[in-house]
Chains A and B, each alone.
Chain A
Amino acid sequence: MNDEELTRRVTRALDEGVDRLDGATRARLARARRRALEVPNARRWLLPAMGGAALASVITAVLWLNRPVTEPLPLAPQDFEMLTTGDRLELYQQLDFLRWLEATEGGHVG
């Protein structure tokens, strides 16, 4: 048997072997093929979705960076003094009330 004859004989037998594969194996192969071919379709939708999400993130970032900023009020020297003295804070908390009382009762406080 020469090489060509041997090769022909072997490949014919191999072809017969795959033609006789059982239905379950054929079905699994067909399923695997379909799954492989579905991937690009899924990616076709995935790409615009990812693009949309990226765009939304950029817009959010731009809006957040350009939002109107409310600067904190500068600390007045008297406030600083108030915070650093050891006086009781209750006195300062009642200060507005005492001022109102002074205004309404003609200046006789205490």
Chain B
Amino acid sequence: MRGAEGDRPGAGAMDHFLAGVERRAFRMAWFAVGNRDDALDIVQEAMLKLVRRYGHHAPGEWPPLFYRILQSRVRDHLRRERFRRRWRVWLGHDEASEDPLADLPAPADADPAVGAQGDDAVAAVEAAVGALPLRQQQAFLLRAWEGLDVAQTAAAMGCSEGSVKTHYARALQALRARLEEHRA
């Protein structure tokens, strides 16, 4: 629902909203693309687009809109990466054959910053979330961490509510398996 004319949200409200979501958004993007700098760029683009195109909407609409933009940027990035990889293979610069792990998303426990913190539980959870397939990861993070409902998550992911439920259930299953494995 759009905000009525005259009660347009100010820059302060937008600043407050973005400050509240930026770190989680960055972590989500980082989980998905496996690269810090790319994740930061994606978050910045999502912020810009939200402010430019939806800044005049009611603040209650911002979370699903912001995450929809973010997930769309993530998908675009991954699509570009896939294309670039194929192009390199076609040109004979097959980096993947030189380093098979180069293009894989970095698992959270491979991040030196996390390792240095020495918190095994956090590292284990981040590794488990990072290892989820993209759609399961998105469904879990948006539903459980960001608190979006099924309809908002479906809008953000660009899929049906039924798919969200399926991805979410599978994500829980996979997380449980990985974390129990870690505990054992």
Contact = CB atoms under 8 A, between A and B. Distances in A.
A14 B40 CA distance: 18
B181 interface: no
B59 to A, nearest CB: 14
A6 B176 contact: yes
A3 B170 CA distance: 11
A13 B14 contact: no
Interface in B1-35: 11, 14-15, 18-19, 22-24, 26-27
Given A13-B126, A16-B119, A18-B27, A32 B40 contact: yes
Contact of B40 (A10, A18, A29, A37): A29
B144 A10 contact: yes
Nearest to B48: A36
B74 to A, nearest CB: 16
Contacts of B72: none
Given A32-B43, A35-B44, A40-B55, A7 B144 contact: yes
A9 B180 CA distance: 12
Interface size range on A against B: 20 to 34
A62 interface: no
Given A16-B119, A32-B40, A37 B129 contact: no
A39 interface: yes
A81 B46 CA distance: 77
Contacts of B51: 36-37, 39-40
Contacts, number: 98
Contact of A18 (B11, B23, B117, B180): B23
A66 interface: no
A17 to B, nearest CB: 5
A26 to B, nearest CB: 7
Interface secondary structure of A, over-half rule: helix
Interface size range on B against A: 35 or more
Contacts of B26: 18, 21, 25, 29
A29 B144 contact: no
Contacts of A10: 125, 128-129, 140, 144-145, 175, 179
A30 B26 CA distance: 12
A39 B52 contact: yes
Contacts of A20: 113-114, 117, 119, 122
Interface of A: 1, 3, 6-7, 9-11, 13-14, 16-18, 20-22, 25-26, 28-30, 32-33, 35-37, 39-40
**Which 9 A-B residue pairs are closest in the complex by CB-CB distance?**
A13-B125, A32-B44, A36-B47, A18-B23, A29-B22, A36-B48, A7-B144, A33-B18, A36-B51
